[in-house]
Structure formats: structure tokens, C-alpha cells
Amino acid sequence: LREPGLNLRVVQLFRDPRAVHNSRLKARQALLRESVQVLRSRQRTEPRGPARHQQQHLLLPPGLLGGGRPPQPQHRAEFFLGGALEVICQSWLRDLLLARRAPDWLRRRYTQLRYEDLVREPRAELRRLLRFAGLTVPPALEDFVLNMTRGAAYSSDRPFLISARDAREAVHAWRERLSRQQVRQVEAACGEAMSILAY
């Protein structure tokens, strides 16, 4: 970041963790391997000793916490997805706290973007990001970002399909698909980061 020849800028994208959990549940099988890798990354960075067991996995389906038994096959994906989201939220929190305490030279090279803001105001957020990067906004790029976020419909059946869709529906889809218990669990696991990000 300090290398003058690079002029590196960092844009960190965030999304409401409830929406992230909803999306990850829809694509649970496709994300199984990735979730296991995320959980392994926590094991590599966690301190050794009794303190590492004080925090429970809050995003696991009911009945998975008792007795140290491995999850049943039908709950295996949810087990790993829930644990991975906790790791992701803790990583976000570390980044957010670091950004708050960052020196001026770092703050000038770092900005945050909330997915929800991009979806609600795509042109304004695109202009803000390109201004931050020192780039101009070609009209074709403005048209592209508007088209990609204002498509005719929202399809949740194919989460990795990149197409024009009404992304505004994706912002609140979790409200209809997650149970109250799932919402409370995500909020408990990710509350600090959500508060800083105004979720």
C-alpha cells in the first residue's frame, strides 16, 4: 500500500450477513468445499488452549452442538456453511476495526462499499468508486451497471448465474426465506460488524 509506483487502492465490498447466509444456504452444495476451507483458516489462526472453545457456533442447525458428535449427513452442509459465515463475520469485524484505527495514508487508499447501496444507487456508487480510484466514468459503464441491477426479474434458483436481474429484490430476499431463528443466529454471530456497517 505504501509503494508509490503501484498507487494501489482497496475497495472492500460488504453485504448484509443475513442476505449472505440466505445466498449461501441456497448454494449450499456448491459452497461446501469453500466453507470447509474457510473453517480450516480459522483453525490455523485461532490461539491454542481453552479460550478457543468459549465461543459456540451460533449458526448451526438445532441439535448439532451436543456431545461433540459430527453432524448427520443431511445437516453436513448447513454445519459447514454456518461455521464459515461466523469466520467471515469475524474477519469483517477485524477489517472494520483496522480501518477505523488506520492512519491517514491508509484511509486515503481504502474505501468500503455496501452491496445494498450499489443496488439502490448504482450510478452514484459507481461514480464514487471510480472517483476514489482516480478513473473517469464512461457512459457505457454506467449503462451496464444500471442494466445489471435493474433487470426484469430476480432469479434465486441459479445463484452463480451472472445476468441482468432486479438486484433490489435480492437485498431483502432473506426476510422471506430465513426463519426467525436463523435471522437471530446470524445477528448474534455478526452483530458487531453489522452495527458498524449500519445493518
Residues 195, 199: Cα–Cα separation, whole Å: 6
The pLDDT mean for the chain works out to: 78
Q: Is residue 144 part of a domain?
A: yes
Residues 27, 24: Cα–Cα separation, whole Å: 5
pLDDT surpasses 60 at 128? yes
What pLDDT score was predicted for residue 56? 45
Residues 124, 114: Cα–Cα separation, whole Å: 13
Q: Is residue 51 part of a domain?
A: yes
Alpha helices per DSSP H over the chain: 17-26, 32-45, 76-101, 104-107, 115-120, 122-133, 139-149, 167-177, 180-196
Nine-digit cell at 27?
Answer: 448454494
First to last CA, the chain: 29
Round the CA-based radius of gyration of the chain to a whole number and report it.
19
Total structural domains in the chain? 1
What pLDDT score was predicted for residue 75? 61
pLDDT tens digits, 137-194: 888 998 888 888 877 665 555 555 666 667 777 788 899 989 999 899 899 999 999 9
Q: Is residue 4 part of a domain?
A: no
Q: Is residue 7 part of a domain?
A: no
Closest Cα partner for 171 from 127, 88, 114, 128? 114
Specify which of 71-75, 113-117, 118-122, 137-141 reaches the highest per-range mean pLDDT: 113-117
What pLDDT score was predicted for residue 57? 46
pLDDT tens digits, 30-55: 565 665 666 677 655 555 444 443 34
Q: Is residue 96 part of a domain?
A: yes
Q: Is residue 2 part of a domain?
A: no
What pLDDT score was predicted for residue 77? 63
What pLDDT score was predicted for residue 66? 42
pLDDT tens digits, 86-96: 888 999 999 99
Phi, psi (degrees; rounded to nearest 5) at 166: -85, 90
Full residue range of the structural domain in which residue 95 is found:
13-197
pTM of the model: 0.74
Closest Cα partner for 81 from 61, 96, 65? 61
95-100 average pLDDT score:
94
Distances (CA, A) of 129 to 93, 113, 118, 126, 197: 22, 8, 10, 5, 17
Q: Is residue 134 part of a domain?
A: yes
Q: Is residue 76 part of a domain?
A: yes
What pLDDT score was predicted for residue 130? 94
